[in-house]
Structure 1
Amino acid sequence: MDKLMVMRAFCRIVERGSLVRASEDLGVTSGLLSRELKLLEKSLGCTLITRTTRTMALTAQGMQYYDEATAILDQIEKAEERVKIGVGRIGGPLKVNVPHSFGTTVLTNLIPGFCSEHPDVDLTICFDDNVIDMVQGGFDLSIRIRAELPDSGLVTRRIGSVKQALFASPNYLAEHPRPTTPDELLDHDLIVYSLADSTTTWNLQKNGEEVGIRPAPRHRIGSSLVLRDLLVSGLGIGNLPDFLSDEAERTGKLTRILPDWHLPQRTIYALTGSRLGFDTRSTAFINYLSSALATHS
């Protein structure tokens, strides 16, 4: 039994909460993982995980073994990374979670450059607008765009910012009077992004003044890409981040509403669940993304 390999497999089983999901990450069968787990428990003389057909839970011994195993594996990984940095090589797997709209409109254009700069990094990128559990999802790194992050114990780094504004299409404005004050928004067909930090209030700001508008939305949309397309089609007024609105505004497909007012900026965060912080692959990815965003801002 390769003790180090089994240790890694055990930790992945715990983090993913499932033999099947862990086997998919590791590229082996769940049957093999089950056998390796039994051999590990036999060698230790105790049960580490209690299992039924539907659930699994760590025993006290399992929790102790997991804590000590992760510490050992983290130290091994750090030692390997220090050596790789010393010879100028960063490589290995990197699994990243990004918001769908940001990933498809911004990150897609940056991936080729990163891969060219770091050809030994094996990228897995998942696009999802929902806030996911990084550990359960097996992610090394997550990119999130929020006004602020709750205290979650994750290690975070700010890598950019996103401006927001209200938009409508020229067709919509041809059939409806253009709002001249925030309160007049309530007389219009409003579309909100249902996965936003807050869907109940739009806080509009101008010269130190702030007005909170509580929209009664006509439509709630769970994709900001779809929301943008609905605004372009003339369905109403909605809020968009600049990476989605810039081209449509530049080409005249969308018109800014209440241009003297602005919504609070959102921050682009990079997060990791590692207790030792960002590893070299994650750091390289974050540095590349941060530099690229600064160049294009």
Structure 2
Amino acid sequence: MDQLRQIQAFVAVVQSGSFVKAADKLGTSKAVVSRLVLELEAQLDTRLLNRTTRRQSLTEAGADYFERCRKILDDLAEANLAASAGTARPVGRLRINAPVSFGNLHLAPLWGGFLQRHPDVTLDVTLSDRVVDLVDEGYDLAIRIARLPDSSLVSRQLASTRVVLCASPAYLARQPALRLIEDLAAHPVIAYSYWSGGDVWAFDGPGGPVEVLTQARLRSNSGDTCLAAALAGQGLILQPDFIVGADLKAGRLLEVLPQYRAPTLAIHAVYPSRQHLSVKVRRMVEYLVKAFNKPGWD
């Protein structure tokens, strides 16, 4: 029980940013909070906070310990609420990581609806195309668009996306025609930095699999930047239809060599474990599965 109080004090200090505010939050004194945190550090034989006269910051060990403790307290609050209410209700902070373009285009409009349904949940959404380590970085859930490697993570497919080779009409009008996929090697392309094949673009064509070594005129870690350059007539792009779909339908982009198909990618919700899955993660996964039952880019 003492360690639980110590953990509550430590988490409150980090979340509120000061010992004084943590004391107010916990309904106790600054001296008590300070003592509890010191006792916790002594018990762990590890410094969790760097302290100065003006502020405190987490040590590397403290940052990792905070995320784990925060989850423990959220799960405990959820369990208490479920027991007292006689039903499982999601509660607490839910940390989500998602790719930038997909997060802005297709996830951002969904968060308000989830919060309206679950008023006891707070969302902490980080957008990054870097593949994060869910456990080490303290995420409850991630959205990944890829062919997932074998891992200890659990995934649920939400939808799929077709990767499309395309360019603007203006670019295609002034360049030599592409008749075979090998012709792509002579054209400037706008490359996405995190593409799994790098500069080698792979397709399934009428004659079977084929690979082309491309020459990037512009390279970016942002799908939106790649799209903007293509719309400006600067080259060909290979991007998922959840990014380029609207421009293809409007004629601002044209699909090139449609008989050659790039890989279709699955869009997954990924979380660390099926065992002891918190109610808030389960509700979010269910919500996303329903939301993407009929994706808007199809």
Do the two structures share a fold, i.e. TM-score over 0.5?
yes
Matched, 1:268 2:267: yes
Distance 2:13 2:290 in 1: 36
State the SS of the aligned residue for 1:132.
Answer: coil
Displacement of 1:131: 1.8
The match for 1:27 is 16
The match for 2:291 is 292
The match for 2:29 is none
Matched, 1:100 2:89: no
Displacement of 1:178: 2.8
Q: Deviations over 1:39-67 (max 9, x none)?
A: 1245x4x6245888996559xxxx9xx99
Q: Give the count of matched residue pairs.
A: 276
Distance 1:231 1:50 in 2: 48
Distance 2:85 2:193 in 1: 43
Distance 1:23 1:142 in 2: 27
- What amino acid sits opposite 1:154 in the alignment? L
- What amino acid sits opposite 2:18 in the alignment? T
Alignment of 1:65-214 (within 5 A): 76=76, 79-80=79-80, 82-83=82-83, 86-87=86-87, 89-149=89-149, 151=151, 153-206=152-205, 209-214=208-213
Displacement of 1:74: 8.7
| Aligned partners of 2:165 and 2:238 also within 8 Å | yes
**Does 216-225 or 134-143 show the bigger shift?**
134-143
**Does 120-129 or 186-195 show the bigger shift?**
120-129
Percent identical across equivalent pairs?
30
Cα separation, partners in 2 of 1:288 and 1:204, compared to 1, 3 Å: same
Distance 1:267 1:260 in 2: 21
Cα separation, partners in 2 of 1:76 and 1:208, compared to 1, 3 Å: farther
Structure 2 unaligned regions, length at least 5:
23-32, 52-57
Displacement of 1:163: 1.1
Distance 1:197 1:144 in 2: 13
Displacement of 1:7: 3.0
The match for 1:230 is 229
Q: Deviations over 1:10-62 (max 9, x none)?
A: 6x7xxxxxxxxx955x22437978753321245x4x6245888996559xxxx
| Aligned partners of 2:82 and 2:88 also within 8 Å | no
Distance 1:109 1:123 in 2: 13
The match for 1:47 is 45
Distance 1:126 1:223 in 2: 15
Q: Deviations over 1:64-101 (max 9, x none)?
A: xx99x899769746734753784363232212111110
Displacement of 1:8: 5.4
| Aligned partners of 2:77 and 2:92 also within 8 Å | no
Displacement of 1:157: 2.7
Distance 2:6 2:125 in 1: 26
Distance 2:253 2:165 in 1: 10
- What amino acid sits opposite 1:117 in the alignment? R
Cα separation, partners in 2 of 1:247 and 1:23, compared to 1, 3 Å: farther
Distance 1:126 1:164 in 2: 24
TM-score w.r.t. the length of structure 1 is 0.78
Distance 1:259 1:131 in 2: 30
**Does 269-278 or 139-148 show the bigger shift?**
269-278
Displacement of 1:232: 0.6
Structure 1 unaligned regions, length at least 5:
13-21
| Aligned partners of 2:81 and 2:88 also within 8 Å | no
Distance 1:235 1:4 in 2: 59
Distance 1:241 1:48 in 2: 46
Q: Deviations over 1:204-240 (max 9, x none)?
A: 1135711111212222111001111111110000111
Displacement of 1:159: 2.2
- What amino acid sits opposite 1:182 in the alignment? I
| Aligned partners of 2:97 and 2:126 also within 8 Å | yes
- What amino acid sits opposite 1:128 in the alignment? S
Distance 1:37 1:3 in 2: 10
Cα separation, partners in 2 of 1:276 and 1:75, compared to 1, 3 Å: farther
State the SS of the aligned residue for 1:87.
Answer: coil
Q: Deviations over 1:230-262 (max 9, x none)?
A: 111100001111111110011111000111121
State the SS of the aligned residue for 1:295.
Answer: coil
| Aligned partners of 1:163 and 1:263 also within 8 Å | yes
